Chains A and B, each alone.
Chain A
Amino acid sequence: EAGVTQFPSHSVIEKGQTVTLRCDPISGHDNLYWYRRVMGKEIKFLLHFVKESKQDESGMPNNRFLAERTGGTYSTLKVQPAELEDSGVYFCASSEHRGNYGYTFGSGTRLTVV
């Protein structure tokens, strides 16, 4: 089975620009999560989709971040306008079951804002 796919793998943008990250979960996985790791910090939860609905977006840092999952398949995470502190690695993960089970991570998108 194909894993969780994320692209781009790397993105370098200037402060104030817009970037859109995409995540394709494992087929059939209703639960999709976004996480972020800022350099020197731990991986932190951003939000959780169940199908196309946002189940929990308590980790979203501010309203410059917009996540969508139209049709309950792939998801996008848009940062607009990007700030320097948004630099980090953005991971997507998916799972078949809701609840506290381990899940499969994608390879991540390394975002650098200059």
Chain B
Amino acid sequence: QKEVEQNSGPLSVPEGAIASLNCTYSDRGSQSFFWYRQYSGKSPELIMSIYSNGDKEDGRFTAQLNKASQYVSLLIRDSQPSDSATYLCAAGGGGSQGNLIFGKGTKLSVKP
């Protein structure tokens, strides 16, 4: 059973702090990893993708991938109240089919 594990939270950080979100995945064949942000009652929105070991930065967001440890993380710098949402980690299911395996999500709350 291929799985993606995330701490459900809630993770609470003060405005302006760094929020650190983590996930682990079970399928060593996964080659692509994604972070989606989902506001309550809305659809998941892709915010970051990462395919190689190391860091990938995009604005206030940094995704980190360690394939040896099967670990993916997302750092959000200068957190804002508008970042409060559930963050879903997803792993590409391997091969070229494109289906994703999602974690249950971590709820982030940024306090003003």
Q: Which residues of B contact A33 (CB under 8 A)?
A: 98-99
Once the chains are docked, how many angstroms separate the CA of A101 from the CA of B31?
10
Interface residues of A in 55-100 (CB under 8 A from B): 55-56, 59, 91, 95, 98-100
Smallest Cβ-Cβ distance to A40: which chain B residue = B104
Interface size on B, as a range, is 20 to 34
Once the chains are docked, how many angstroms separate the CA of A35 from the CA of B93?
14
Q: Which residues of B contact A106 (CB under 8 A)?
A: 43
CB pair A107–B43 under 8 Å, yes or no, is: yes
Q: Which residues of B contact A102 (CB under 8 A)?
A: 34, 36, 46, 49, 90
CB pair B46–A100 under 8 Å, yes or no, is: no
What is the minimal beta-carbon distance from B41 to any residue of chain A, in angstroms?
9
Contact digits for A43-59, partner B, Cβ 8 Å, 1 yes 0 no: 11100100000011001
Say yes or no: is B100 at the interface (Cβ < 8 Å to chain A): yes
Which of these, B31, B36, B103, contacts A100 with CB under 8 Å?
B31
Say yes or no: is B88 at the interface (Cβ < 8 Å to chain A): yes
CB pair A105–B99 under 8 Å, yes or no, is: no
Contact digits for A26-42, partner B, Cβ 8 Å, 1 yes 0 no: 00000101010000011
Q: Give 19 A-B contacts (CB < 8 Å), ordered by A residue.
A: A31-B98, A42-B102, A42-B103, A42-B105, A43-B102, A45-B99, A48-B97, A48-B99, A99-B92, A100-B31, A100-B98, A100-B100, A102-B34, A102-B36, A102-B49, A102-B90, A103-B46, A103-B98, A105-B36
Interface residues of A (CB under 8 A from B): 31, 33, 35, 41-45, 48, 55-56, 59, 91, 95, 98-108
